[in-house]
Structure 1
Amino acid sequence: MAEEAIAWNYDSLGKDVAHQAKRHILDTLACAIGAYDADPCLACRDVAKELNPASQATLLGENTKVSVSSAIIANETMIRYLDFNDVLYFPKSPGKIGGAHPSDALAAVFALGEWLGASGRDVIAATVAAYQVIGRIVDGLAEGLTPMGFHHGTVMPYGGAVIAGRLLNLNAEQITHAMGIGGSAAVGLAVNDAEGEEYNNTKNLADGLMVERGVLGAFLARRGFTGPERIIEGNKGFAHSLLRGVDNFRLKPPPNEPYIMQARTKFYPTESTNQGHLSATSELVQAHDLQPEDIDGIVVRTNKRAIEHNGDPAKKYPNNKETADHSAYFMTALSIVTRGRVTPFSFTEAAYGDPVIRMLTDKVVLQHLPEYDPIPPAAEVEIRMHSGKVLKRRVDHPKGNTNNRMSDDDLRQKFIDCANGRFDDAAIDRVVDICFSLEKQTSIDELMQSLAFAEPR
């Protein structure tokens, strides 16, 4: 994997892959800006300023600079908070998915790229390389990490090591050691993303901490520090310890197209396997002008993973954003009340206690349909009206899937929605134009500066 990571360069990517990387960069920045005012994001930025005031890398949304490590952790918390950033996953057995959010690693691209003066081309190539390594790991899992009790972010040290290794011009041996250092020192527990548990702020923080360990590993490896080279397949390594045996991991040959081309962006700020049934619900509401008081019952038929992960009782009546965006019940009700326009700012204390949303939540029934297990997030929704009329909609490929990609204009609108009035049209155009011309930028300084809208507190 390390050899493959250093083999990527901008000129070998091709226009489609390079453009896809720029799209994911814009998508990731939109998610971060949308989460700027969230309490856990404020807390992480405050701690970054308090503990590590070194002027190395910018906190997204501000002109404040802190240490590279602190910027990675604080910025990734913003990237992750909305649960709106991209996802790369592969269905395994029913109810089991091997996946990750590869854009969590981009906090390292932004911080290191800025501090080291990397060109836009270098940033694009490092992005593609990180998605490739993360993709090969999650594709090779037999069952996924979370069923084994480990957080999906446990793959992030490998992405962080690759990004740092690329931008520090490390060789394959050094990147191998960096992955070994970070991978052996950063393993997350799935309690932060578990059925039966109310979610908490640490859900947003976990990936950044693990990305940063991979980056630290790269800096150590540059100075000759060694790590376990057989971190994946070795005795008591990744596969043996996390997957209960080396037979539960098989590193597949690289696919014909890079893994970044298989990553999905999100049209709704919610867990990935909710995307299909939310699309179906929204389409029914808009097509038939449905009113909450006219609805007698709602049946959501979807894959086993969505039922188990987003349908457990602990999530039915959420009290915070982290739990709400993982509640199939709440999200279905919210999509009806908002007329299909669920935004990052739909998640409020008022919404959690809204009697209409609560009434609709109680009418949602989740049903497992095995035919959807191999093709998440495909789903169907049936809405029964008090009049006796029954409306049905099936969505196999919600917007954001690889065969129904969000357009460049969709991603621009997503940034506008996440910015929530913080940028005027000219400022929006500046951010989007810089992202889509990143290969022409000699550094990413202008990109970081274009995102600043707030005075540091």
Structure 2
Amino acid sequence: MDNCAAMTKEVRAVTQLIAEFVYATEWADLPDEVRHEAKRALINYFAVAFAGCKDSDIDTAMKLLKSLHPGGRGGFVGRSEALVMLDAAALNAMSANVYDYDDTHIPTIIHPTGPVASALFALAEETKISGEQLLLALVLGMEIECRLGKALHPWHYQRGWHITSTCGVFGAALAAGKAIGLDVRQLAWAIGNASAQASGLVETLGSAAKSLSVGNAPRNGLLSALLAQRGFAGPECPLEGTRGFLQVMSDSPKFDELTHELGGSWAVLANTYKPYPCGVVLNPVIEACIALRADKSWTYGQVCRVELIGNPLLRERTDRPHIKLGRESQVSAQHAVAITLATGMAGLDQFSDAAVADPVLRATYPLVDFYDDPDCSVESATVRVLLDTGRYLEHRVASAKGGLMAPLSDSDLVEKLTILAKRSGSTINVEALVEAIWSLDRSENAGAVMTLATER
């Protein structure tokens, strides 16, 4: 109580207002475009979960968790193993995140669907939830997750907190709480329980540990809601308290981002989907390099220097010239530039251990220089290439494919799912899975979607 006493009335009400909003919002309140975007988010979610499901680090985590928690009936996308509920939530989110191919909310750079959808599908296989209930909970969880990110932006990420993990746990908690019918008080408790488990560090990017915290977000969010359902109480002001999440995790939290136009504007409509498996700030760089390579009047061996002009986040997150692994290459501008200028491609094979080991590519890494432009969005960049003849090549991408100004179409997302499911070696019926997602709001059993996505 003392923790909240120093806050203004408006700030003091934030946790309560959010709980009331989540509790009161119904499917009928969602605009058609929001409903459709939720389904698009799920198409992309299953696509990227297939991409990562056979990754060696994911396999290591799965085998350990199965040995610790045998049994269960939770589905694991692209695989035949059945898992206990919390492990299913964690591993599916880890798979969806491990190759940095997941969705991205602008401007927070949160990957919002993985933590929320993973919690909901794990829950849906234990408790019967309709497709409409799951989609509503998904939208609401993503809404609060992203609003928290906007309240913390940009200080939170700059401090080194991995925002998908730290905010994702709240999205998962509220989504799960909505799906199981928590009342306002219990939803506030779920927020409080999640606040005690919000963690993840940017320092882990480029390592398997990065996806560990992303997996903990749905695991801990789901746990937070289930505990609240049983009367496990959180603090009164977990978000706005003087030692609460927002005050501790940001230099100057913007409380109005949590409530401004709440229910009138929707975060899912600011969600984007990647055409390349790497950090989103690299998308315009890759697109520019592919465009430059289309000019056949020069060769890769002529490159003397490469200048990258973009948002400061491009340099801050991807200036990594000393990488050794494919995992690290997903957040290395040096590698992204080298591989796309050399091959004109930027798929999963181009961000692999083998690609990083190529000495011809590595020789280009030291040639990359960064120039910050604070007025440049994270979706745009300019690439300038100096050749040994003294000639400069230049290409600017104002808005990369997959961004808000050039979004992937429904068919693009279905193609992504089809390609990545096939690449995983899965034998699942992709057409049936796609149809189940597009018609999910008419299904009485949301858990059936996960069954279609597994080898069980």
Fold-level similarity (TM above 0.5): yes
On the 8 A contact 2:308/2:371 being kept in 1, the answer is yes
Say how many residue pairs are matched: 436
* 1:1-40 paired onto structure 2 within 5 Å: 1-40=18-57
On the 8 A contact 2:146/2:167 being kept in 1, the answer is no
Q: Distance in 2 between matches of 1:404 and 1:294?
A: 32
Distance 1:117 1:286, change over 3 A: farther
Q: Distance in 2 between matches of 1:305 and 1:437?
A: 38
Q: Which amino acid aligns with 1:368?
A: D
Q: Distance in 2 between matches of 1:118 and 1:417?
A: 29
Q: Give % identity.
A: 24
Q: What displacement does 1:331 show?
A: 0.9
Alignment partner, residue 273 of structure 1: 281
Q: Which amino acid aligns with 1:408?
A: D
Q: Distance in 2 between matches of 1:409 and 1:290?
A: 35
Q: What displacement does 1:54 show?
A: 3.5
* 1:390-405 paired onto structure 2 within 5 Å: 390-405=392-407
Distance 1:156 1:385, change over 3 A: same
Among 291, 300, 306, the residue aligned to 1:298: 306
On the 8 A contact 1:100/1:138 being kept in 2, the answer is yes
Alignment partner, residue 226 of structure 2: 219
SS in 2 for 1:20: helix
Alignment partner, residue 370 of structure 1: 374
Of stretches 71-80 and 375-384 in structure 1, the one that deviates more from structure 2 is 375-384
* 1:64-79 paired onto structure 2 within 5 Å: 64-79=81-96
Alignment partner, residue 94 of structure 1: none
Of stretches 205-214 and 286-295 in structure 1, the one that deviates more from structure 2 is 286-295
Determine whether 1:168 maps to 2:173: no
Q: Which amino acid aligns with 1:360?
A: T
Determine whether 1:406 maps to 2:425: no
Distance 1:183 1:32, change over 3 A: same
Q: Distance in 1 between matches of 2:255 and 2:391?
A: 48
Residues 263-284 of structure 1, C-alpha deviations (whole Å, 9 max, x = no match): 1111111111111111111122
On the 8 A contact 2:192/2:235 being kept in 1, the answer is yes
Q: What displacement does 1:162 show?
A: 0.9
Alignment partner, residue 451 of structure 2: 449
Q: Distance in 2 between matches of 1:297 and 1:245?
A: 39
Q: What displacement does 1:400 show?
A: 1.3
* 1:143-158 paired onto structure 2 within 5 Å: 143-152=154-163, 153-158=165-170
Q: Distance in 2 between matches of 1:137 and 1:260?
A: 14
Q: TM-score, normalised by structure 2?
A: 0.89
On the 8 A contact 1:77/1:204 being kept in 2, the answer is yes
Distance 1:452 1:185, change over 3 A: closer
Q: What displacement does 1:246 show?
A: 5.9
Q: Distance in 2 between matches of 1:242 and 1:424?
A: 41
Q: Distance in 2 between matches of 1:246 and 1:346?
A: 39
Q: Distance in 1 between matches of 2:167 and 2:32?
A: 28
Q: What displacement does 1:249 show?
A: 7.9
On the 8 A contact 2:89/2:122 being kept in 1, the answer is yes
Distance 1:424 1:76, change over 3 A: closer
CA RMSD of aligned residues (A): 2.3
Q: What displacement does 1:165 show?
A: 0.5
Q: TM-score, normalised by structure 1?
A: 0.89
Q: Distance in 2 between matches of 1:203 and 1:365?
A: 26
Of stretches 56-65 and 415-424 in structure 1, the one that deviates more from structure 2 is 415-424
SS in 1 for 2:384: strand
Q: Distance in 2 between matches of 1:245 and 1:371?
A: 21
Q: Which amino acid aligns with 2:59?
A: L
Distance 1:433 1:151, change over 3 A: same
Alignment partner, residue 146 of structure 2: 135
Of stretches 49-58 and 243-252 in structure 1, the one that deviates more from structure 2 is 243-252
Alignment partner, residue 236 of structure 1: 243
On the 8 A contact 2:151/2:254 being kept in 1, the answer is no
Determine whether 1:324 maps to 2:329: yes
Q: Distance in 2 between matches of 1:45 and 1:26?
A: 23
In the alignment, structure 1 segments of 5+ residues that lack a partner are: 91-97, 194-198
Distance 1:335 1:228, change over 3 A: same
Alignment partner, residue 196 of structure 1: none
Q: Distance in 2 between matches of 1:291 and 1:371?
A: 32
Q: What displacement does 1:84 show?
A: 0.8
Alignment partner, residue 335 of structure 1: 340
SS in 2 for 1:100: coil
Q: What displacement does 1:244 show?
A: 4.5
Distance 1:289 1:210, change over 3 A: farther
Q: Distance in 1 between matches of 2:58 and 2:298?
A: 36
